[in-house]
Amino acid sequence: MSQQVDPLQGEVRFRVPLPIVIPIGALLLIAVVTIIVSRILLSVPKEVSVVIAMALAANVLIACAVLALRPQETRNSWAELLVVATYPLVIGIVLANLGLGESHAGAAHGAAEEAGVTGGGLEIGAENVQFTMDTIELRADEAATLEFTNADASSVQHNVSIYKDDSAEKVLLQGEVIPGGQSISYEIDPLKKGEYYFQCDVNPGMNGTVTVE
């Protein structure tokens, strides 16, 4: 006499739709790798990030060429190729943790402090994506020179532009954008007595008031 099997006790199998799962998984992997690489490159100086990106691209291309020419490579060989292809990222992580990109910003910040960028006047700095002061004081009907120091990382760009008001429509000074770790002098034409508006055109949230007396 045959024994009846409870259908609820049978093994439940699910079919994985590979044509859908594989592309989605590949996109997620690409997104994660892109975010990691971008964070590393933004954490080091511009010159170093270019070298790391070029080395990484070259290593990945070489690894793909080796795999294409030798499709029967063992799993251990695949792991070795992966290590070789991605070692520039390891170097980038080490440099970022050593604070190499911050050394340039620190030097610029020190120069800004020595120049007296601490309050109203003709010197202003940028650090941590904000200006070191929110007021620039000028004399009416006199030309002036504004010294600007960008003390952020080399990958972070800033400038100083002066407008008639906070609508930022009528430009009175269009300052050149500079990367972190650099300084520049802006020549300001004579302005009439009153209050004006200044901002960083790259990051408009950085702004303040120009007082002309």
Bigger pLDDT: 181 vs 28: 181
Quote the pTM value.
0.47
HSE-CB of 137 using CA atoms within 13 angstroms: 6
Q: Name the helix (H) or strand (E) containing 114.
A: helix 100-114
Topology of domain 102-212 in CATH is: Immunoglobulin-like (2.60.40)
Q: How far is CA 16 from CA 19, 21, 115, in A?
A: 9, 8, 65
The average confidence (pLDDT) of the chain is 77
Domain boundaries, the chain: 8-98, 102-212
pLDDT in tens, 108-139: 545 444 444 333 458 999 999 999 999 999 99
What integer is the mean pLDDT of 93-113? 53
pLDDT of res. 4: 59
C-alpha to C-alpha distance for 13 and 20, rounded to whole angstroms: 18
Q: How far is CA 151 from CA 7, 14, 98, 104, 177, in A?
A: 71, 57, 18, 8, 13
Q: What are phi and psi of 114, to 5 degrees?
A: -65, -30
Per DSSP, the three-state class of 136 is: strand
Strand partners, 212: 138, 194
Planar angle of CA 76, 80, 81, nearest 5 degrees: 115
Evaluate whether 41 touches 53 at the Cβ level (below 8 Å): yes
In which band, very low, low, confident or very high, does the pLDDT at 159 lie, cut at 50, 70 and 90?
very high
C-alpha to C-alpha distance for 114 and 97, rounded to whole angstroms: 27
